[in-house]
Amino acid sequence: MFSASKIKAVDFYRKIPRDLTEASLSGAGLSIVAALSMMFLFGMELNNYFAVSTTTSVIVDKSSDGDFLRIDFNMSFPALSCEFASVDLNDVLGTNRLNITKTIRKFSIDSNLRPTGSEFHSGTIANAVKHDDEVDEEFVEGALPLTSHSFDKFIQQFPITVVNFYAPWCSWCQRLKPSWEKAAKIMRERYDPEMDGRILLAKVDCTKESDLCRRHHIQGYPSIRIFRKGSDVRSDHGHHEHESYYGDRDTESLVKTMESLVASLPTGSQHLALEDKSNGTENVKRPAPSTGGCRIEGYVRVKKVPGSLVISARSDAHSFDASQMNMSHVVDHLTFGKKVMPRALSDVKHWIPYIGRNHDRLNGRSFINTRDFEGNVTIDHYIQVVKTEVVTRKGYTLIEEYEYTAHSNVAHSINIPVARFHLELSPMQVLITENQKSFSHFITNICAIIGGVFTVAGILDSILHNTMRAMKKVELGKNF
């Protein structure tokens, strides 16, 4: 049996009798300072325990979105017509998608990037436009040449005027010329401009009448425009509603189309009805672009390999003058991957300030060719994309975003100028993981704070007390 005296012998905290202890002002002051220090350090430790800390690592990208990456964009091209604007994709694996339309929308804009109408619909264009098989070298020119001075006069004179805007060097224009002249001669014989006056076929050489072609936003050759005269339209703004023709270019098809246009006119009147009742040309006529610019928006999905997103002028039946093409543009929006909600991004930024700084790096930037480089100017953007993923302590993915760097360059090109976005997708990703904090570690730190402050305060009190006693003894020795 252990007696009480033996048990007391192992007491680590032996007490000094109260009548042997003495309170002092210095001890009281140190006690107050020690208590305040304990409270301050306890608050800091508690704040650190509840604060979020992260660990950043670089690992191989094992994305849940598979082998494809979505690119959302909204870009404005003040000098590229929606009539020919094309979005293309290609990559190192051989993917080559031309003129993507399923997920792309186009809107006509003016030179100040203001929208000028509803969505522009490209419609269905045949892959191969038919031309005359045999070319008669002795054909008689039947189309009336128009100039800047005579254009408005004849447009206002005839209910329907069909104009071929061409360039002599254009191969497509050269193939169209025989059938166009034949069709014009046939229509002139059937509907004499002086006796009948219901329709006129004309032509404009855009190399000589560049201002006239620019006024009608001609960017591809040949461009066939159908001008309709209507008193109501003329009284509003002095111009005529007009359409573009995209059908076959052989003589028979042209004559058939012109006949359907004449048939749409009211009997006994030279004014055009408000609605075109012809069904034969609905699939080859569409409203002509009212302005020369285009805003392109939508999304595409690309493989996670090096490739390019290219925006250019494209057509299987038109030629383009590279020296006159201007691919200046404004990037309103360009992001990669799933859309990150602003609120979620804002919440994460409280504990990861650098997150989300580069996921929209090109947004709002303008890339304008001021013609200082003359023509044939291609604008290249070199983009390197890296995935960043933020994971909570429980393994839940809080944010999954793609950030990128971008370097742009303006260069001369021997081909048709384009706006090209070179894509380099990193096989690695940045993983930001929230650290798990131990409660036992927190308690240990609290005990260390209390014990440490108490011990340090005790040492200081002992030093101060002994110093004051020594000073008193010195004073007594001097007095006695």
- List, in sequence order, the alpha helices (H) in 51-150: none
The pairing of strands 54-60 and 285-287 is unpaired
In the numeric block, the tokens 């070319």 are attached to: 135
pLDDT at residue 192 tops 80: yes
pLDDT tier at 291, thresholds 50, 70, 90: confident
Of 120, 160, 90, 54, nearest in space to 430 by CA? 54
pLDDT at residue 202 tops 80: yes
Distance CA 27, CA 457 (A): 9
Poorest-confidence range of 105-109, 242-246, 307-311, 472-476? 472-476
| Burial grade of 134 (CB within 10 A; 0-12, 13-18, 19 or more) | exposed
- Tens-place pLDDT, residues 33-58: 888 888 988 888 888 877 777 788 88
Half-sphere exposure of 444 (CA within 13 A, CB side): 5
- Tens-place pLDDT, residues 92-101: 998 899 999 9
The pairing of strands 144-145 and 199-205 is parallel
pLDDT at residue 223 tops 50: yes
Mean pLDDT of the chain: 81
In the numeric block, the tokens 């048939």 are attached to: 263
pLDDT tier at 251, thresholds 50, 70, 90: very high
Answer whether 126's CB lies under 8 Å from 313's CB. Answer: no
Half-sphere exposure of 455 (CA within 13 A, CB side): 6
3-state secondary structure of 386: strand
pLDDT at residue 231 tops 50: no
Mean pLDDT of 261-266: 84
Structure tokens at 395: 């393994």
Poorest-confidence range of 269-278, 306-315, 333-342? 269-278
Polymer length in residues for the chain: 480
- Tens-place pLDDT, residues 443-461: 888 888 888 888 888 888 7
3-state secondary structure of 202: strand
Higher confidence at residue 172 or residue 121? 172
pLDDT tier at 418, thresholds 50, 70, 90: very high
- Predicted local distance difference test score (pLDDT) of residue 396: 74
Answer whether 289's CB lies under 8 Å from 108's CB. Answer: yes
- Tens-place pLDDT, residues 204-219: 999 999 899 988 888 8
pLDDT at residue 232 tops 60: no
Considering 55-59, 388-392, 405-409, the range whose residues carry the highest mean pLDDT is 405-409
Poorest-confidence range of 15-24, 66-75, 165-174? 15-24
Distance CA 385, CA 70 (A): 12
Mean pLDDT of 207-232: 84
Distance CA 38, CA 43 (A): 9
Distance CA 187, CA 151 (A): 19
Mean pLDDT of 368-376: 65
Half-sphere exposure of 35 (CA within 13 A, CB side): 6
Of 194, 205, 225, 185, nearest in space to 145 by CA? 205
Distance CA 209, CA 195 (A): 29
What percentage of the chain reaches a pLDDT higher than 70? 83
The pairing of strands 329-336 and 68-77 is antiparallel
Mean pLDDT of 68-85: 91
pLDDT tier at 419, thresholds 50, 70, 90: very high
Mean pLDDT of 400-428: 89
Distance CA 417, CA 322 (A): 6
- Predicted local distance difference test score (pLDDT) of residue 341: 74
- Cα–Cα distances in Å, from 434 out to 64, 83, 90, 395? 20, 51, 38, 9
- Predicted local distance difference test score (pLDDT) of residue 216: 87
Mean pLDDT of 409-431: 88
pLDDT at residue 118 tops 60: yes
Distance CA 471, CA 394 (A): 62
Higher confidence at residue 373 or residue 471? 471
Higher confidence at residue 312 or residue 285? 312
Q: Which residues are catalytic?
A: 170, 173
- Cα–Cα distances in Å, from 333 out to 188, 191, 367, 389? 52, 53, 13, 22
pLDDT at residue 235 tops 60: no
